[in-house]
Amino acid sequence: MINANHEELTRTLKHEGVRVGEIIAYRAWRVINEGWFRSGDDRLHSVLMRDYVWYPDKPASGDVRTYGIYSFRDVIRSKEEYGYDPGVDGPLLLGKVKIWGEIVEHEAGYRSQFGKIVSLDYGDPELLDKFRKIYRVNQVPDHLHHSLPSPPRCPIPISILVTYRTGAVARWFGEPL
């Protein structure tokens, strides 16, 4: 979780003036199921920032000096690989996100200014079908849908110049958004 030292660190990082194109990274989204005291909303949510909604028709965004859009460099295929907190309710869907804008590289991934869901790859099959349609990703004919190969396990080979000094935040990686 974020503490005061990490928040101060993210606010004081010096911008190095380097810009890069978009990057494909990996993350998880929380599904809010309908229950006794809440209603489902057919939207994907941030896992830890409970009120943050990822909308189908607009990019997620955040200020990289405070929070930003967090994602992993390597494929994550399960709640366990994600480091899922059992205190967080609702199932998770895992997939790819395109990130761009200002980007801070961390030891395990990135914190970016913008992000957009590219694919939903792992999770409950019924929820995957439902949210792939809502977010218009992974659209393939039904007869091919369940026979697609899994993405490779290896990290994405990216040579990236980051917009902030890498070493300043390399020891911490959280998921506020």
Domain regions of the chain by residue span = 4-169
- What one-character DSSP code corresponds to residue 76? -
Residue given tokens 């026979």 in the structure block: 147
Q: What is the pTM of this model?
A: 0.67
Residue given tokens 């929820």 in the structure block: 127
The pLDDT of residue 127: 95
Residue range 93-122: mean pLDDT, rounded: 94
Residue range 49-58: mean pLDDT, rounded: 91
Give the tokens for residue 1. Answer: 């979780």
Residue range 27-43: mean pLDDT, rounded: 79
Confidence of residue 152 (pLDDT cuts 50, 70, 90): very low
pLDDT tops 50 at residue 173: no
Confidence of residue 82 (pLDDT cuts 50, 70, 90): confident
pLDDT tops 70 at residue 43: yes
The identity of residue 14, as a single letter, is K
Q: Give the whole-angstrom CA distance, residue 177 versus residue 27.
A: 10
User: Which contiguous run of DSSP H or E holds residue 147?
Assistant: none
Confidence of residue 176 (pLDDT cuts 50, 70, 90): very low
